[in-house]
Amino acid sequence: MWNKRFKEIDLSQSLIFLILFALLFIFILYPLIRILHVAFTEESHFSFAHFINFFERSLFKESFLNSLMAGLMAVFFGSLISLPLAFFTIKYDFRGRTLIQTLGVLPLVLPPYVGAVALQLILGRSGMLNLLLLKWFGTSIPFMEGLKGVILVQTLHYFPFIFLNASASLANVDPSLEEAAENMGAHGWSLFRKVTLPLMMPGYVAGALLVFIKVIDDLATPLILNYTKMLAPQAYLRVTTIGIEDKAGYVICVIMVILSFLSLWAAMKFLSLSEYAMVQRGGTGIPISKRIGGIKLMLVGAFSIFVLGISLLPHLGIFLLSFAKAWSFSILPRAYTLNHYIEIFYRSPHFVKNTLLYCLLSAGIGVLLGSFIAFLLIRGRIFGKGLLDAVAMMPLAIPGVVLATGYLRVFHGTPLPLIHQPLTSLWIILVIAYTARRLPYTLRACYAAIQQIHISLEEAALNLGANRRRTFFKITFPMMAGGLIAGGLLAFITSSVELSSTIMLVPRMEYGPLSYGIYIYMQSAVGRGPGAALGVVAILLVAIGTYLVNKVFAGGSGTAFKL
């Protein structure tokens, strides 16, 4: 019987594996394969012709260079902000240190495209600052024009990824390593350059590459700022205006995927180095922070206030806009109103409702999938674990535009049996896209939740008379519940502001979620108020979710946003 049970478990596990793999194949791998197939065939032959075409056309070449440039610049300016902040808050001890650490994460709460709108109000051609400049000096500065504006918005939104990863790896540097260097005579700048910096490098590089991937992926910010000479907007425009038969769209998709995969691969490489560097025994393990005061403290304070002040400007702008009756060509709104909130909660409540429905569904499905996959990876007695893991983690490097294009390509022309409609004209396609895009995060949360349960905890239950099913429900499940909830919350908050795949996949206006609503409202001057109100809702959703995640994880702020 025992013997038979063993064999049964193997069989049923293999069955679950096959079902899971089939799902991942249909919704992750196959769309990608189809995109590759289209991009690399010319009259049903393998060919690089489309790629050669791509780089011969000046618009595409410019878009490619602009995307690279935006990624590099966002990383560069993000590092200028993050590295000093990380160093100050980890290595120095002063009042307000925790405040800086908290405020430094806040930009993540604001979806970048919402921030783009707000920044236009403040830094745009007729925004707050330029109006003041005109009044006082008779001149204005074009902060938000063209690529500059995109880079500015993306830098301000994404720099926390660098800040968090750099802080974490700086905090992880074993103080005894620095003490050893001091003992040998190194101090100050030379200590930092020769010992501290190299040790924190892997975490920093991982954060920087993450920013690069996000910038490549970001479709909404350039669209909102009406700057389309970048890869993601070009792919979007080709597919939505010329149609899914247009080859150029696919070529752009492939280039985006290649860029993301390369960055992700490099990030993983650096992270594995970081583990190697940190495995140290002995030492106190607590970083030593120096108390500072006087001039030094004032400089640190001034820098932090300046940088964080700018990065929090969009929050302020969007908040004001959501209550503004009219706000153009004036420094502050002239009159205030609650109408925009009435609009989004009473007149068109479907945006908020849809978001709750889609994101809760997709978080639930994601956790379910994630825990099954994680369980198979950790405790499974099956073949093909590596493959399952690899495919499930793939969406990390598939930009939203690419996944959406793949879905359109695969599902658009084929009506489903019984309902006689293609999958892409049902709202469920959004749930599927969100689930697929967040799977790496939910999977990792579930994996961590299961991994922390030492096998002997389950064996102890078996030993005391509980069979496998009861052991799972009384021991395994309650112990992993916290991790699963955190994973679900994380999926929920990130999906609720997801726009790059949403724009392409929303089948009908009334199926649109909150992020789509913001995008649509922001297209017209009258819509900006309700759009901003939706933006405030999005900020609150993400802020509450992030707070809860950190509560559940109890691992300090920002566990959720690290690679």
Partner 1 sequence: MIQATEVQLIDLRKSFGEVEAVKGVTLTIERGDFFTFLGPSGCGKTTILRMIAGFTRPDTGKILFDGEEVNEIPPWKRNVGMVFQNYALWPHLSVFENVAFGLKERNFPKSVIREKTLKALAMVDLEGMERRRPSELSGGQQQRVALARTLVIEPRLLLLDEPLSNLDAKLRIQMRHELVRIQKNLKITTLYVTHDQEEALILSTRIAVMSKGKVLQIGTPKEIYENPKSREVADFVGTSNFFLGKVVRIREDWIEMKTEEGFPLITRKEEGMNPILGANFLLNIRPESIRLAYPNQGSLEENRIEGVVRTSAYLGSSVQYEVEIEGGKKVKVNVVNPRKRALFEEGERVLLTFSAEDIVPIPLK
Interface with partner 1 (CB under 8 A): 1-3, 5-6, 454, 456-457, 459-467, 470-471, 474-475, 478-479
Please, which residue, 334 or 454, has the CB nearer to partner 1? 454
Please, which residue, 139 or 456, has the CB nearer to partner 1? 456
Distance (Å, whole) CA 499 – CA 501: 6
Q: How near is the Cβ of 320 to partner 1 at its closest, in Å?
A: 46
Q: Do 167 and 89 meet the contact criterion of CB atoms below 8 Å apart?
A: yes
End-to-end Cα spacing for the chain: 45
What pairs with residue 415 in β-bridges? 422
Nearest to 531 by CA among 285, 220, 233: 220
Distance (Å, whole) CA 76 – CA 67: 14
Please, which residue, 190 or 463, has the CB nearer to partner 1? 463
Q: How near is the Cβ of 451 to partner 1 at its closest, in Å?
A: 15
Q: How near is the Cβ of 279 to partner 1 at its closest, in Å?
A: 21
Take residue 367 and report the two structure tokens written for it: 């956790």
List all residues 6 or more positions away from 332 whose beta carbon is below 8 Å from its beta carbon. Answer: 128, 320
Please, which residue, 37 or 474, has the CB nearer to partner 1? 474
Q: How near is the Cβ of 9 to partner 1 at its closest, in Å?
A: 12
Q: How near is the Cβ of 472 to partner 1 at its closest, in Å?
A: 12
What pairs with residue 42 in β-bridges? 45
Please, which residue, 350 or 385, has the CB nearer to partner 1? 385
φ, ψ of residue 325 to 5 degrees: the values are -75, -50
Q: How near is the Cβ of 462 to partner 1 at its closest, in Å?
A: 4
Distance (Å, whole) CA 259 – CA 233: 16
Nearest to 50 by CA among 303, 187, 245, 297: 245
Q: How near is the Cβ of 461 to partner 1 at its closest, in Å?
A: 7
Distance (Å, whole) CA 424 – CA 71: 31
Q: How near is the Cβ of 1 to partner 1 at its closest, in Å?
A: 6
Distance (Å, whole) CA 326 – CA 529: 8
Please, which residue, 470 or 551, has the CB nearer to partner 1? 470
From the centroid of its chain, how far is CA 135? Answer: 40
Q: What angle do CA 185, 188, 193 make, to 5 degrees?
A: 90
Please, which residue, 332 or 462, has the CB nearer to partner 1? 462
CB neighbours of residue 300 within 10 Å: 21
Take residue 7 and report the two structure tokens written for it: 């064999």
Distance (Å, whole) CA 375 – CA 365: 15
Q: How near is the Cβ of 406 to partner 1 at its closest, in Å?
A: 40
Please, which residue, 1 or 279, has the CB nearer to partner 1? 1
Please, which residue, 281 or 469, has the CB nearer to partner 1? 469
